[in-house]
Structure 1
């Protein structure tokens, strides 16, 4: 039993989101593009031995595994359990022990104050209803407990990628908010409100050098990144629009190219304590 007060879940919407993230190969994206970001978040949040840690929207364990290696008693939760198989292999290879459980960020199955540390690395930002997800994040953090969030910014590469894909994508469901808003400091402060203290926010970048050309980036994301796979799937009957999206994503990657395909992708890192 839990004492969650989250509103009734839209099961059809959540099923759609689960299916989207099961498309392609998100673990390959995490391993290729952001292998260091989970450890960066864990270090900033200060996970210690014995801490009860929840990683919301954990995916294949990009932050969960470093948190476990830091000594945390970690629960890795995600709406898409299809991602756990790779996560378990990675954890075993690293010698990390943690629990994997299917969870909805907007309706967490845990008691109020159940965790010493709650974190999310480019994960909770994709829950469609931001306030509901933020309320649950705060609810399950004990008073004085630590919160750590890492999210792509609206003005950085991934934020621009979502803006680039938006004209080609089906309309979002009513009430859904754009994921990169979690990378806007004012927006996140509004979500958390006075329920947190000792807030520290900083904008940083991660160096991405896995793609030699714009086309390599575009093709990799078309094949492996769930949101991009889903947009292209919606364009199957309009090949001219799919070709236009190809060109727009190529142009985006070229604008960010620092040379030989190397790019810096911007994110917001926030840490705080539960009031």
Structure 2
């Protein structure tokens, strides 16, 4: 089950965290993985891990907010069976202290970046008569998270785009779903805590972990496992759904 043998998968932001976990798992399951990543060194590290495990992967240094770069890169790849829109950046702030510059940056990467990949990949999927799209949203799209104004905006847009794409291309054998994780323990989280809570790292880690009813943060590999299911043939009857992989955050917090 869950074989991706013979399939070509494009994963944005595959150089670290959740994106790396998805890339490595997809490679293990037989997909030829193309990593779209602004950080070329990080992308190559993931490629090396995939090859070390016996898989096949290629790194593409590319800015998801630049439509022409994305279109040219995807056309060069040629065939895309699976697209995972994972690339994204975070931001801390409320409405009246979020600068226009920061708001625009979040929009360009987290919203326009997803749109650019959809714009470039869907025509290729239409040519082959099938395709699977998975977008990385967040619980911040549906739950009020303190000081995440711009980030929540961007993930709400991702969730809405996922539904729109699922509806518009359902008759063309193109499925589209989303995953909404809660807090996941990645190097980004460690860096965020170190930067904003110097001297209180362990205290804040425990506080953030316990905000999930299950009592801990998620693991990148757990998000990757859901991604594998949704992008596999076993999920052929699943489209237009946003899955919360959140340790009970959305439904059990009260």
CA contact 1:152–1:183 (8 Å) conserved in 2: yes
Q: Which residue of structure 1 lines up, in the alignment, with residue 156 of structure 2?
A: 181
Q: Deviation at 1:79?
A: 1.1
CA contact 1:48–1:71 (8 Å) conserved in 2: yes
Q: How does 1:162-181 map to 2 (within 5 A)?
A: 163-164=145-146, 166=147, 178=153, 180-181=155-156
CA contact 1:153–1:182 (8 Å) conserved in 2: no
What TM-score, normalized by structure 2, do the two folds share?
0.54
Distance 1:196 1:63 in 2: 24
Structure 1: 5+ residue stretches without partners: 1-39, 209-216
Greater helix proportion:
2
Q: Which residue of structure 2 lines up, in the alignment, with residue 54 of structure 1?
A: 10
Q: Deviation at 1:94?
A: 0.4
Aligned residue for 2:64, secondary structure, equals coil
Greater strand proportion:
1
Q: Which residue of structure 1 lines up, in the alignment, with residue 132 of structure 2?
A: 147
Q: Which residue of structure 1 lines up, in the alignment, with residue 112 of structure 2?
A: 132
Q: Deviation at 1:246?
A: 7.4
Q: Deviation at 1:207?
A: 11
- Please say which of residues 99-108 and 141-150 is displaced more in the overlay: 141-150
Distance 1:114 1:194 in 2: 24
What TM-score, normalized by structure 1, do the two folds share?
0.50
Q: Which residue of structure 1 lines up, in the alignment, with residue 84 of structure 2?
A: 120
CA contact 1:125–1:182 (8 Å) conserved in 2: no
CA contact 1:52–1:117 (8 Å) conserved in 2: yes
RMSD of equivalent CA atoms: 4.6
